[in-house]
A = this chain, B = another copy of it.
Amino acid sequence: MREAVFKTEISLTRYLRADGKPLDELPGWSHEPEPLTSYYRWMVLARQFDQKAVALQRTGQLGTYPSSLGAEAIDVVTGHLMSHEDILVPYYRDHVLQMIRGTPMRDVLLYWGGDERGNAGVGMARDLPNAVPIATQTLHAAGVAASLKYRHQPHAVVCLCGDGATSKGDFAEALNLAGVWHLPLVMIVNNNQWAISVPRHMQCAAPTLAQKALAAGIPAEQVDGNDPIALHEVIGHALQRARAGKGPCLIEALSYRLSDHTTADDASRYRAPDQLKEAWQNDPLRRLRQYLVDLGYWDESRERQCLDEAQQQIQQAVEDYLATPPEPVESMFEYLYAELPEQLRTQIEMARVRGGGDL
């Protein structure tokens, strides 16, 4: 005798078509100019920043840099919905999200320019810095959420990662703990269809990544990651639940990596040009701009002004970045332990001499 013991379904939320036209009745707030025009401004800034960062890398002024091209809506909406007290556990494409949280743009450049001070920013006092080893941050997020819960603080933790990250055991372990401990954790997967050269279908045989939540017994949502209205609804709801003690949630945001993986990558080696061209049809900026233009909230002159402002802000940050001298060599030891062990003092001198000279 076979008896059904578990039934479920997972839904995709989407409000706008790729051309910015509504698919359906829209939520009330989305008829107002705010927050959508703010979203759009930040998305423009993100894209401009990206372009500049890539240009800096190409001219030897920045290290390897991972563009956020195509992920702007996810980051911008998340950044706006998070409260100051919520805690961010980002991944390495979340530049603009970190900026919205207060990290100076210069610090983002410092980080990718090989300077730890990029992680020291005051704007994000309790947020975690980027974790380079994939998926490891998902466990930190569980721990941060556990600390909020332990302290009875009604805030949420937002953690982001890529589609590739969902294959690493850490991801499953973090969701599992979040389920058992009922943690205030909102896990957002930026499913941009690629993990460097490995396409989504070679990463996992499941039709959605959202269903990874089922393994942990927690709610799962799929959302169009190019649709700011849908993102706002789904992420906003998850944040409210988490803050209200209603537990964790996994959100799969469908996007597309419109850039190379990083500046060290050449996606043309493994990606058909047609696919990329098609993906540009879903560009989140285009979609939101069209929607705002249709409502009369946006036009060419606003666009130009917005671009100009972004350029100025970026230019200033780049100048600040380039004018920042390297950190003194002893910083290499200064932050290793709470107090520097006596034994290591002599090595500071060695470090100074190495690499051809004093600082």
Contact = CB atoms under 8 A, between A and B. Distances in A.
Interface of A: 1-15, 23-24, 167-173, 176, 179-180, 182, 201-208, 210-212, 214-218, 222
Copies in the complex: 2
Contact of A167 (B10, B173, B205): B173
A180 B202 contact: yes
14 contacts: A1-B14, A1-B15, A1-B24, A2-B12, A5-B222, A6-B10, A7-B8, A169-B169, A169-B173, A172-B172, A204-B217, A206-B217, A211-B214, A211-B215
A5 B1 contact: no
A207 B215 contact: no
Given A172-B215, A180-B203, A206-B217, A4 B10 contact: yes
Given A5-B207, A168-B169, 13 more contacts: A1-B13, A1-B14, A1-B24, A2-B11, A3-B14, A4-B11, A8-B8, A171-B172, A172-B215, A205-B218, A206-B217, A211-B215, A215-B215
Nearest to A139: B169
Given A11-B2, A168-B173, A204 B222 contact: no
Contacts of A173: 167-169, 172
If over half of A's interface residues share one DSSP class (helix, strand or loop), that class is named, otherwise mixed; here it is mixed
Contacts of A9: 4, 6-8
Contacts of A180: 201-205
A171 B215 CA distance: 11
Closest 7 CB pairs of A and B: A169-B169, A206-B217, A179-B205, A205-B217, A172-B172, A1-B24, A215-B215
B218 A215 contact: no
Given A169-B170, A176-B167, A214-B214, A208 B6 contact: yes
A295 B173 CA distance: 47
B3 A11 contact: yes
B206 A216 contact: yes
Nearest to A201: B180
A5 B10 contact: yes
A218 B201 CA distance: 14
A8 B9 CA distance: 6
A357 to B, nearest CB: 42
A7 to B, nearest CB: 4
A11 B3 CA distance: 5
A229 to B, nearest CB: 10
A52 B35 CA distance: 72
A12 B1 CA distance: 8
Contacts of A207: 5-6, 217
B3 A12 contact: yes
B208 A216 contact: no
Contacts of A8: 7-9
A222 B214 CA distance: 15
A116 B130 CA distance: 45
Contacts of A206: 179, 214-217
A170 B172 CA distance: 9
